[in-house]
């Protein structure tokens, strides 16, 4: 039997779609989330549909002191770890209430970086494995409308790129996923242009293919690569005057 | 950040399968029970929506329409009993894809697989085996209903019995179905042994139905444009699940496998009126010629037999942008022959060629408010137009005259008066709805139109 795929943040739409995709390929699945009871229906669903073993695990990305023991108590070390965890706190609220901003920064950067660092050590020693981090195009340039979120994602993206650099010779793959807009709970009720907005399923497919093809960085819809080139290229004096 | 407890809604333009009427609705896509409870507590009048395959306005509510597609998990399967437990938003198509290859088939299925578990319960759908095996409730062991004040009840024929029998066929007006347990039947092959018969007129097709009481599946397609002595000319299709031994040798090796059907999408709206008497006539002629050629026995894969239109994705667009309406009634056995003649006569006299005309024998009623009753049900499609509205009026009058009643999952036109004239159960349903406070929380555009 293959080694399992661990999904951190498995209650999210993206996490669910990713679990479905890998289970359909016959991978055993480990689902992790802060409220473990919410994972039971997903466990049943994956087992019935795909006949793969599924286990559920409690995981709080903010409780970094528990991360080492979280890894130790896993019944089996995963072949692939996919960190989907993140949150998008309201920018205006963050500006006024810095504790909210801090929680967002920790959820999007500190926590994911800590857990993936610990897995990196295990994988490096073992000599194989894949680490996937879901970051965001919002980290490519800070904008007035969500720079707390964006800066944390920028940190996470830089972290993943450094980790990839370090592990390049060890046979461990590190994949950075920079989805553009995705139709999920996070973006519910927002008006998003449909050509730029992916379904969670597309993200899952893109991740699966990227792992097979040993990719480093993916934008789920290719058009986002060009949009971000453009956005990064706008000179600061002009950028300041745009509302983005 | 808004707490995950209160789902954000968004404005969307929604309609049913007939694309008439179209309504701008506040749409919510809850992911958990607590989110639905939160919405109820905020005092919204809401309706659950499955996959929008009801034709009219059953699954629309301007104030709050609850799309249930995130409730899409399979929760349990017992291979000893065939009992499947599923969340309400699971599509029948997914169930078939998973379970046919494992040798299981739904006990009851409507004529499209693009419906949800919740939608099948709420409309208490019937299939081609209704005369023998009843409507969806017959396969239903229990359901969990989230109803007024956010209470959740497990309902079954032995527990919260009244709530159970009002909810099946209750068109979402008793609450939100969260999950349900229902039975699949074991099958040995994925094939149906089909017998096709041509009937020259209505009397003949009814005789054939009556003679085929013991056959599991039966349905007839009527050529709506045949007139005079050929009124009711039809093709009757009878079917049984094929056993392995019966199958042609080439399928016997992998009896649960069937070749994939080619899917065709209708990508654009046909111009209004593209489907006129002429095209319908041509279609029917072709259909009959083809059937005549195939009359007799054949082996048909499950998808083609049960869901003939599903391979034509988006076929509702051939009716053009104005949409279409479906009319479906059931007439009691005692008046069926005469009443059906009158209905067909009216349709063909209006020259309002119905693209699809389906006739089916039904067995007894089961749910308190379910559509089926012993008799014959006729379903007709019409492109939406002023003339169609007149034809519908006439068809409804004829149905009343012959003691028939109407299928709410197809309706977008009835008046509160006519509904009450056709169905004595309506008053009781409304009383119970008031007494149970369901009227405070649950309403659809249809229930508003019909004062339910
Ligand atoms: C091509 C075609 C063929 C058909 N053939 C048949 C047939 O042979 N026999 C038959 O009986 N019907 C038939 N139908 C009708 C169809 O089966 C019903 O309308 C069914 O209810 C549609 O399911 P849905 O999931 O799309 O529900 P929707 O259309 O979204 O909703 C239908 C009703 O169910 C309610 N509902 C949906 N989900 C829930 C929930 N979770 N909780 C509470 N209420 C809910 C809605 O409020 C609404 O009143 C056919 C329809 C089409 C388009
Ligand atoms: N949607 C988009 O357009 C978009 C675009 C680019 C990037 N992304 C990124 O994609 C990822 C998935 O997001 P999504 O859109 O699917 O939104 P989401 O539903 O809000 O997903 C966030 C996930 O993170 C989990 N999480 C939050 N805080 C946690 C904590 N302290 N400990 C453990 N888990 C925690 C959530 O768990 P709970 O269920 O317990 O809250 C949830 O599973 C995120 O990293 C997001 O930043 C999204």
Of the candidates B55, B60, B17, B1, which has an alpha carbon nearest to the alpha carbon of residue B413? B55
A35 close to ligand 2 (CB < 6 Angstrom) = yes
Asked whether residue A104 carries a pLDDT value surpassing 80, the answer given is yes
User: Which residue stretches of chain B have pLDDT < 50?
Assistant: 1-4
Q: Is residue B290 exposed (0-12), middle (13-18) or buried (19+ Cβ within 10 Å)?
A: exposed
Tell me how far apart the alpha carbons of residues B438 and B452 are, in angstroms, rounded to a whole number: 10
Task: Give the ligand with the smallest distance to the CA of B359.
Answer: 1
Would you say B299 and B248 are in contact if contact means Cβ atoms under 8 Å apart?
yes
Convert the pLDDT of each residue in A66-93 to its tens digit: 999 999 999 999 999 999 999 999 999 9
Asked whether residue A144 carries a pLDDT value surpassing 50, the answer given is yes
Of the candidates A142, A136, A208, A132, which has an alpha carbon nearest to the alpha carbon of residue A163? A132
Flag whether A168 is in a domain.
Answer: yes
For chain B, give the percent of residues with pLDDT over 70: 92
Report the largest interatomic distance among the alpha carbons of chain A, rounded to a whole angstrom.
Answer: 57
pTM given for the model:
0.95
Task: Compute the average pLDDT of residues A116-137.
Answer: 97
Closest residue to atom 39 of ligand 2, CA basis:
A11
CATH number where A205 lies:
3.40.50.720
Flag whether A195 is in a domain.
Answer: yes
pLDDT value at position B226? Answer: 83
What the block records as the tokens of B307 is 């869901």
Q: Which residues contact B193 (CB under 8 A, 6 or more apart)?
A: B239, B240, B241, B242, B246, B297, B298, B299
CB contact under 8 A, A88 and B29: no
Query: What is the distance in angstroms between the Cα of B304 and the nearest Cα belonging to chain A?
Result: 24
* φ and ψ of B121, to 5 deg: -75, -45
Closest atom, ligand 1, to C-alpha of B145: 42
Convert the pLDDT of each residue in B313-351 to its tens digit: 777 877 777 888 899 999 999 999 999 999 999 988 876
Of the candidates B141, B214, B230, which has an alpha carbon nearest to the alpha carbon of residue B181? B141
CB contact under 8 A, A41 and B75: yes
Residue whose structure tokens are 């108590």: A73
Q: Is B272 on the interface with A (CB under 8 A)?
A: no
Task: Compute the average pLDDT of residues A6-26.
Answer: 98
For chain A, give the percent of residues with pLDDT over 70: 100
B405-406 and A5-8 strand pairing: unpaired
Flag whether A244 is in a domain.
Answer: no
Q: Is B29 on the interface with A (CB under 8 A)?
A: yes
Tell me how far apart the alpha carbons of residues B375 and A108 are, in angstroms, rounded to a whole number: 63
Would you say B434 and B442 are in contact if contact means Cβ atoms under 8 Å apart?
no
Tell me how far apart the alpha carbons of residues B94 and B71 are, in angstroms, rounded to a whole number: 13
What the block records as the tokens of B6 is 């209160």
B122 close to ligand 1 (CB < 6 Angstrom) = yes
Flag whether A181 is in a domain.
Answer: yes
Q: Which domains does chain B have, with CATH numbers?
A: 74-187 (3.30.465.10), 191-419 (3.30.70.2520)
Flag whether A208 is in a domain.
Answer: yes
| DSSP structural state of residue B388 | H
Task: Compute the average pLDDT of residues A45-62.
Answer: 98
Task: Give the ligand with the smallest distance to the CA of B450.
Answer: 1
Flag whether A66 is in a domain.
Answer: yes
Closest atom, ligand 1, to C-alpha of B175: 43
What the block records as the tokens of A185 is 């709970």
Cα B362 → chain centroid:
14
pLDDT value at position B4? Answer: 43
pLDDT value at position B353? Answer: 64
Please provide the average confidence, as pLDDT, over all residues in chain A.
96
Residue whose structure tokens are 């956010």: B150
Flag whether A24 is in a domain.
Answer: yes
N-term to C-term CA, chain B: 39
Closest partner residue to A42 (CB to CB) among B8, B73, B98 is B73
Residue whose structure tokens are 């003679």: B211
Number of domains in chain A: 1
Three-state DSSP state, B119: helix
Q: How far is the centre of ligand 2, averaged over its atoms, from the C-alpha of A187 (Å)?
A: 10
Please provide the average confidence, as pLDDT, over all residues in chain B.
92
Q: Which residues contact B127 (CB under 8 A, 6 or more apart)?
A: B108, B109, B110, B111, B133, B217, B306
The sheet carrying B234-241 orders its strands as B296-301, B191-199, B234-241, B217-222, B357-362, B375-383, B324-332, B405-406
Report the largest interatomic distance among the alpha carbons of chain B, rounded to a whole angstrom.
Answer: 70
* Nearest-by-CA chain B residue for A189: B10
Range of A235's domain? Answer: 5-239
pLDDT value at position B3? Answer: 41
Chain B residue numbers with beta carbons less than 8 Å from the beta carbon of A44 are 73-76
Q: Which residues contact A76 (CB under 8 A, 6 or more apart)?
A: A3, A4, A28, A30
- Work out the angle at residue A90's Cα, subtended by the Cα atoms of residues A89 and A91, and round it to the nearest 5 degrees: 105
Tell me how far apart the alpha carbons of residues B383 and A221 are, in angstroms, rounded to a whole number: 39
Read out DSSP for A138-184?
Answer: GGSS--TTSHHHHHHHHHHHHHHHHHHHHHGGGTEEEEEE---EE-S
CB contact under 8 A, B9 and A189: yes
Q: How far is the centre of ligand 2, averaged over its atoms, from the C-alpha of A108 (Å)?
A: 9
Closest partner residue to B1 (CB to CB) among A42, A44, A87 is A87
């Amino acid at each position: 039997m293959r080694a399992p795929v661990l999904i951190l943040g498995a209650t999210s739409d993206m996490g669910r779609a990713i679990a479905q995709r890998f289970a359909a390929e016959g991978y055993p699945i480990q689902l992790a989330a802060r409220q473990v009871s919410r994972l039971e229906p997903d466990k049943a669903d994956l087992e019935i549909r795909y006949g793969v073993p599924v286990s559920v695990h409690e995981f709080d990305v903010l409780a970094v002191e528990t991360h080492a023991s979280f890894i130790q108590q896993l019944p089996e070390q995963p072949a692939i770890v996919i960190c989907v965890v993140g949150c998008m706190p309201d920018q205006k609220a963050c500006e006024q209430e810095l504790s909210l901003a801090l929680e967002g920064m920790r959820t999007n950067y500190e926590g994911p970086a800590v857990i993936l660092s610990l897995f990196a050590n295990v994988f490096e020693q073992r000599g194989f494995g894949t680490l996937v981090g879901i970051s965001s195009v919002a980290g490519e340039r800070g904008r007035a409308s969500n720079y707390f979120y964006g800066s944390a994602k920028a940190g996470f993206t830089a972290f993943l790129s450094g980790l990839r650099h370090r592990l390049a010779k060890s046979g461990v793959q590190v994949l950075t996923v920079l989805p553009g807009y995705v139709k999920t709970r996070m973006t519910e009720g927002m008006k998003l242009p449909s050509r730029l907005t992916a379904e969670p399923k597309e993200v899952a497919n893109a991740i699966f293919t990227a792992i097979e093809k040993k990719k480093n960085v993916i934008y789920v819809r290719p058009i986002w690569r060009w949009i971000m080139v453009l956005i990064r290229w706008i000179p600061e004096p002009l950028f300041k005057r745009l509302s983005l | 950040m808004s707490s995950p407890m209160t789902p954000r809604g968004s404005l969307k333009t929604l309609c049913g399968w007939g694309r008439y009427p179209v309504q701008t609705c506040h749409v919510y896509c809850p992911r958990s029970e607590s989110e639905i409870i939160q919405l109820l507590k905020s005092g919204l009048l809401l309706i659950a929506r499955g996959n929008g395959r009801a034709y009219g306005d059953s699954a629309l509510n301007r104030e709050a329409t609850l799309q249930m597609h995130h409730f899409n998990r399979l929760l349990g399967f017992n291979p000893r009993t065939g009992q499947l437990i599923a969340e309400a938003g699971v599509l029948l198509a997914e169930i078939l894809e998973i379970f046919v290859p494992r040798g299981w088939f739904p006990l009851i299925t409507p004529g499209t697989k693009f419906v949800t578990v919740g939608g099948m319960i709420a409309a208490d759908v019937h299939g081609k085996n209704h005369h023998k095996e009843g409507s969806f409730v017959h396969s239903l062991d229990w359901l969990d209903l989230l109803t007024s004040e956010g209470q959740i009840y497990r309902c079954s024929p032995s527990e919260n019995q009244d709530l159970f029998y009002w909810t099946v066929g209750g068109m979402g007006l008793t609450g939100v179905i969260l999950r349900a347990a229902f039975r699949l039947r074991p099958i040995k092959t994925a094939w149906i042994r089909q017998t096709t018969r041509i009937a020259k007129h209505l009397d003949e097709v009814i005789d054939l139905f009556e003679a085929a009481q013991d056959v599991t599946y039966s349905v007839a397609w009527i050529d709506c444009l045949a007139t005079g002595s050929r009124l009711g000319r039809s093709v009757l299709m009878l079917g049984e699940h094929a056993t392995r031994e019966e199958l042609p040798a080439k399928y016997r090796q992998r009896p649960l496998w069937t070749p994939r059907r080619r899917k065709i999408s209708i990508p654009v709206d046909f111009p209004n009126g593209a489907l006129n008497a002429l095209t319908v006539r041509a279609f029917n002629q072709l259909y009959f010629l083809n059937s005549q050629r195939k009359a007799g026995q054949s082996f048909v894969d499950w998808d083609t037999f049960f869901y003939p239109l599903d391979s034509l994705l988006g076929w509702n667009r051939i009716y053009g942008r104005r949409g279409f309406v479906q009319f479906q009634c059931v007439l009691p056995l005692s008046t069926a022959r005469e009443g059906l003649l009158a209905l067909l006569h009216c349709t063909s006299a209006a020259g309002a060629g119905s693209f699809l005309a389906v006739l089916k024998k039904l067995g007894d009623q089961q749910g308190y408010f379910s559509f089926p009753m012993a008799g014959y049900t006729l379903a007709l499609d019409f492109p939406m137009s002023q003339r169609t509205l007149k034809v519908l009026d006439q068809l409804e009058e004829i149905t009343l005259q012959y003691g028939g009643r109407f299928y709410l999952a197809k309706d977008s036109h009835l008046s509160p008066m006519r509904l009450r004239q056709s169905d004595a159960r309506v008053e009781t349903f409304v009383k119970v709805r008031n007494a149970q406070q369901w009227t405070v929380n649950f309403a659809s555009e249809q229930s508003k139109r019909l004062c339910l």
